[in-house]
Structure 1
Amino acid sequence: VLMLSRLEPERFEPRRISTEGTVIRERSWGRGRVILLDSPPGKLVVHLFPSALFREGEKVEVQGVLDPFLPEPGSDGFDEGTYWLARGALGIIRHGTGRSAGEMSMGISRWRELVRERILRRMPPMMRGHLLAAWLGDRDPDLALRHSSWGTSHVLAVSGLHVGIVVMILFALLPVRFFRLGISSLFMWLYILFAGASSSSLRAGLMIQTGFSGKWKGRPLQAVNTVSVAGLLLIFWRPWLFWDLGWRLSMTAALVLSSFQGTRSWKVWILAPLLLWVSTAGMVSEAFGMVPVAGIVINVIAVPLFGLLLPGASLLALPALLGVPGGVIVAWTGEMLFRAWEIFADGIVFLLPWHVPYSAGLSAAGMAAALCFVLRGAGFRWFSAVLFSGVISLFFMVL
């Protein structure tokens, strides 16, 4: 009942508004640009002309008609209202005007903008796109298109892979056990906030933090339980996240992988990309029209490879970002590694050029596969897990 009441968007009459706030997000949007403004009335989405360029952390005065969100899909199936409600926005100014107030906030948005400027100016193309994604949660359109064709778009979304890398590095650098959990937790959350606090990164952070709490109390870790707790906490905090594709893909992948806890057979982990592909293909194809078959093979290599490549590239980028003479040459070493990966991934796509379009059957199969392995990870017998997941999936497909 509590969640249903919070799913009702705030209703108010459209009104002209003039307010000042801090830009906390800025991006291109169709033919124009959009900013997410932290203002006295709340978080506001402001659509602007392409020529209106503002930076994160900048103080901006905006004017326009503030409309409430009315969640409903557009002609292309995209629901802008739900998208922004999942990010905590209150309302939208569709044809706004804005001007800089001449101030820059010294909060986290300002530091994000400083790092973004250095990466854009000093990094070669592939390094630039991957570092913007891993450090700030930004997406380079050209790089995102390439990863989409490879079936590896998850590499560009700050999620469990990235947060896990940060935690593992912290554990390696902090040998003293007494301080390890506390310091790792602090820097993990700083990274999540700095990288944009996406729903997938928040899920990963809450999952790891739940595991830390259990470890601190001396209780055994149950991966399925920690993922479930993290997902429920996010839904209670912001119910609109349930319709966010990133949250659903992140939760599905994490639940399927966590169901393998304690499994040591290498065959299972080789099959994991296939299981993840089947589990998420319905959601991906529904959103983008189709899903590449090549992703099944590519992800066998992509996940462990990028687990090494992203921290390695970050290390190689530091000299250039810090202005060390000759640092650009070091950065190009990372660029060559990313280009070698590009050649490999393009080769797999050439060998496996097929795509699977969306269908209700594909979506039902994905639901059944994910639910089956989650139930198995929760302790169900195989027969019970298969039967229960099959019945539930069939019910939703018929419904």
Structure 2
Amino acid sequence: MFIRFVLCWLLGTVGAYLVAPSLFWLVVALVVLALVAWLVRDQPRMHKWTILGLALLFGALRYSAGLPTLGPSSVATMLDQGEVLLVGVVAEAPRQTASAQRLVLAVEALQVDGRQQAAEGRVLVVLPTYPAYAYGQRLRVHGALSEPRGAQRPGEFDYRAYLAHRNIFVLMQQPTEVRLLAGSGGNRALALLLRFREHCRTLLLRTLPEPQASLAVGIMLGIRSTIPETVANAFAATGTSHILVISGWHFSIVAGVLAGLASNMRLKRIPALLLTLGTMWFYALFAGASAAVLRAATMASLAAIGRASKRERDPWRLLCASCWLICLANPHTLWDIGFQLSALAITSLFAFSEPIEAWLAARRPFNVPWPGMAAVRTSLTATLAVQVLTLPLIAYYFGNLSIIAPLANILIVPALPLAMATSALTLLAALIWLPLGQMIAPFAWLPLTWMSTGVGLLATPRWAALQVPPFPLWLLLSYYGLVLAAWWWAQQRGAGYGPRASGQ
């Protein structure tokens, strides 16, 4: 029932986005349906359907109530008004690329034609890579505002709608003037944490050579801006880019290390739980607190609470609970690409790992009792299972289809835990004393080199990855509909498609 409740809530969120219902009529419908639910409380079947209907309406109400109102002081009213001068605070950690940095400016005031006035709203500002700016800094920027580009054809990726879900409706590309102002804004604790994160990035870059240093920064801190373009392209071509994104697997490794540490320290259940939760959420904020990171941290936290209370729930409920809590806090997370890929990857792993492993175990050479074959089969099972639901979405958004991904994941992914552990030791040592970190760095260099060199070699063949032509949204949804129907049919036949593990 809980899983159906969450699915109805999410469906109501999407429905509110598509239909844009009135808040008044949503509240009226909620009151009426709540009264019906009370009247039929003694009829289990009817009561269940009314509860699901309430979940649908609550999801729609949560989305609709959180929509921004563009008043007369909104910066969006300055579109196509020529160059304007904006004063505001950097509201998020800027995203660096090889050629530019993108920062979100929370506007406080604007000036146009020599007249200054109070203003509000968020603007995506595209600047050169240097000088680099940071969260919480106050800036004055001067330039022309423009509207984000929408979809060129129905069904294509809509950049304008994507930014709108982040409450961004205007852009300023390559402003003519940028000046750093005195003072700061934003959350001071978060600003301090992000400064510490930047300090850690600098230490890793000083203790390891390239590209191993940038790879360690991506794996440990979730910062991909310093990874050389050739290395990043190799990871994308081999279908191993998920290694560079903080995911459920990263949190599983962290939780495993903390469980071992708590056991060695002989901590009681509650102190061990507090240590695990505190460390994981510190790491989540430290890694940038993206939607996918929050999903993974929430799910890992629920699993830890379940183990501590000795009432572990099945992985499907953990996944639904984590997605629901995140979307309850911010319904627009549903449209975050990283969140979509992360949630679909775990769903696909839970749904298809068992039948794929059974299929592999019945065929040569995967059923031959060679040393290491079980590990190979497990890695290949996870890789193929995840591809079922994520591959179409990757092709839809990025037009990239990796042919060599199964082999690459078998060879590269098992090195991730060792790379994380040795990189963490290197960083901790460097925080204590930089030369000490440089002495430990060779232990991290080996797995990082295996990963960077391995993806480089695997990405070399021309057939390693194919560029697919863009396809419409209805085709993507049709694919998922067919997969869902096939999964449901297999469930009815008792095929036993289900989750293997709850640690993701």
**Could you say which TM-score interval applies, normalised by the shorter chain?**
0.7 to 0.9
For 1:325, what is the secondary structure of its paired residue? helix
1:35 corresponds to 2:148: no
Question: Which residue pairs with 1:101 in the alignment?
Answer: 181
Spell out, residue by residue over 1:368-397, the C-alpha distance to the aligned partner (whole angstroms, 9 max, x if none).
Answer: 686479769xx94346999xxxxxxxxxxx
Question: Which shows bigger deviation, 362-371 or 132-141?
Answer: 362-371
Contact 1:119 1:321 in 2 (8 A): no
1:222 corresponds to 2:333: no
1:50 corresponds to 2:128: yes
Kindly report the root-mean-square deviation, in angstroms, between the aligned alpha carbons of the 2 structures. 3.8
Give runs of aligned pairs for residues 239-278 of structure 1, distance below 5 A.
Answer: 239-259=331-351, 267=361, 269=378, 270-278=380-388
1:304 corresponds to 2:414: yes
Spell out, residue by residue over 1:184-234, the C-alpha distance to the aligned partner (whole angstroms, 9 max, x if none).
Answer: 111101100010011111111111222233334432321011111211222
Contact 1:127 1:313 in 2 (8 A): no
Q: Alpha-carbon deviation of 1:64?
A: 4.4
For 2:211, what is the secondary structure of its paired residue? helix
Q: Alpha-carbon deviation of 1:146?
A: 1.9
Question: Which residue pairs with 1:381 in the alignment?
Answer: 492
Q: Alpha-carbon deviation of 1:30?
A: 8.4
Question: Which residue pairs with 1:395 in the alignment?
Answer: none
For 1:55, what is the secondary structure of its paired residue? coil
Question: Which residue pairs with 1:155 in the alignment?
Answer: 243
For 2:137, what is the secondary structure of its paired residue? strand
Question: Which shows bigger deviation, 286-295 or 79-88?
Answer: 79-88
For 2:448, what is the secondary structure of its paired residue? helix
Unaligned runs of 5+ in 1: 387-399
Question: Which shows bigger deviation, 112-121 or 364-373?
Answer: 364-373
Contact 1:56 1:113 in 2 (8 A): no
Using the alignment, how far apart are the partners of 1:218 and 1:262 within structure 2? Answer: 25
Question: Which shows bigger deviation, 50-59 or 183-192?
Answer: 50-59
For 2:406, what is the secondary structure of its paired residue? helix
Q: 1:115 aligns with which of 200, 220, 234?
A: 200
Unaligned runs of 5+ in 2: 1-59, 79-83, 109-118, 362-376, 498-504
Q: Alpha-carbon deviation of 1:249?
A: 0.9
Say if 1:336 and 1:53 are closer, same or farther in 2 by CA, change over 3 A.
same
Percent identical residues:
21
Contact 2:96 2:129 in 1 (8 A): no
Question: Which residue pairs with 1:146 in the alignment?
Answer: 234
Q: Alpha-carbon deviation of 1:10?
A: 4.0
Contact 2:426 2:438 in 1 (8 A): no
Normalised TM-score (structure 1): 0.79
Using the alignment, how far apart are the partners of 2:192 and 2:417 within structure 1? Answer: 30
Question: Which residue pairs with 2:93 in the alignment?
Answer: 25
Using the alignment, how far apart are the partners of 2:284 and 2:248 within structure 1? Answer: 11
The higher radius of gyration belongs to: 2
Q: Alpha-carbon deviation of 1:153?
A: 0.5
Give runs of aligned pairs for residues 152-301 of structure 1, distance below 5 A.
Answer: 152-175=240-263, 176=267, 177-259=269-351, 267=361, 269=378, 270-301=380-411
Say if 1:370 and 1:289 are closer, same or farther in 2 by CA, change over 3 A.
same
For 2:260, what is the secondary structure of its paired residue? helix
1:61 corresponds to 2:139: yes
**How many residues are aligned here?**
383
